[in-house]
Structure 1
Amino acid sequence: MTFLDVMDRVAQLFEAIGALVLLGGLGVSVAVAIRAWWQHHDGRAAYQLLRETFSGVILLGLEILVAADLVRTVAVAPTVENVAILGVIVLIRTFLSFSLEIEIEGVAPWRRAQTIGGRRSRGSSSSGGLEPPV
């Protein structure tokens, strides 16, 4: 087995882990939301909890998939075309991650320091006190 074969397998492993994180995270997020709805009978809060919980899962999944793209592009097929495609993929995934981070936090990262002592801090939510398990 050559180095390229090993790196291709590593990239496939990262992709599989990313997919499993997304699927498992969806299942856990739905279970947490259903439990919250069952206990509090507040569909809106349960839905918000589902969104917040799954957004974090998506962020983790995206980071793992970017790692797979990096391994595949740099180690397996480092052509100019593949590096350009990787750049576009990373830009798109970075934009998605940034958007999800704002969705989770409720505030842009450069304004987070202004809200820590005031209105909102990491971990607070509008889900009526329903928080994902730690």
Structure 2
Amino acid sequence: MNVFGEDLLHLVTRAIEWCGILVIVLGIVLATWRYVQRSRSGKAEDHSLRHYRADVGRGILLGLEFLVAADIIATVAIEPTLESLAVLAGIIVIRTFLSLSLEVEITGRWPWKQDPEEVEDRREAR
């Protein structure tokens, strides 16, 4: 690969990483804003903290998707060595575990378990 192409891939990778970081930060800011709005309006209920944590978790999950994409691009397109591939595999395992943990935290169930309401909605749609 020529130097220009490699520099462009580095730039694209960094841009995607920054997007991931921005998504996480914005997710936290928006979740906090929603929590404060609920508290000010008097709609704060017992579940407000749970909703806040779920909103923060969603922001983190989306940001992690961007970060994994950037890692894949960096490993596959820029530096495709066995060592970089092993590092990528480790990163993906850790981030997958984090994603699963956050999903369980947000929804209260495993991602492959369907919500009973979703199942009922599908039955009614048929």
TM-score normalized with structure 1 length: 0.80
Give the structure 1 partner of residue 47 of structure 2. Answer: 45
Shift of 1:81: 0.3
Q: Is the 8 A contact 1:33 1:50 kept in 2?
A: yes
Give the structure 1 partner of residue 87 of structure 2. Answer: 85
> What does 1:1-134 align with in structure 2 at a 5 Å threshold?
2-40=4-42, 42=44, 44-113=46-115, 115-116=116-117
Shift of 1:41: 5.8
In structure 2, how many angstroms separate the alpha carbons of the residues matched to 1:19 and 1:41?
Answer: 30
SS of the equivalent of 1:112 reads coil
Change (3 A) 1:110 1:25: closer
Change (3 A) 1:40 1:21: same
Letter in 2 for 1:12: R
Letter in 1 for 2:30: V
Q: Which runs of 5+ in 1 are unaligned?
A: 122-134
Change (3 A) 1:26 1:117: closer
Letter in 1 for 2:54: E
SS of the equivalent of 1:58 reads helix
Q: Which runs of 5+ in 2 are unaligned?
A: 122-126
More helix by proportion, 1 or 2?
Answer: 2
Identity %: 36
Runs of 4+ in 1 over 6 A off after TM superposition: none
SS of the equivalent of 2:80 reads coil
Q: Which of 60-69 and 49-58 deviates more?
A: 49-58
In structure 1, how many angstroms separate the alpha carbons of the residues matched to 2:57 and 2:109?
Answer: 15
In structure 2, how many angstroms separate the alpha carbons of the residues matched to 1:70 and 1:44?
Answer: 41
Q: Which of 41-50 and 1-10 deviates more?
A: 41-50
In structure 1, how many angstroms separate the alpha carbons of the residues matched to 2:113 and 2:84?
Answer: 36
In structure 2, how many angstroms separate the alpha carbons of the residues matched to 1:13 and 1:83?
Answer: 21
RMSD: 2.0
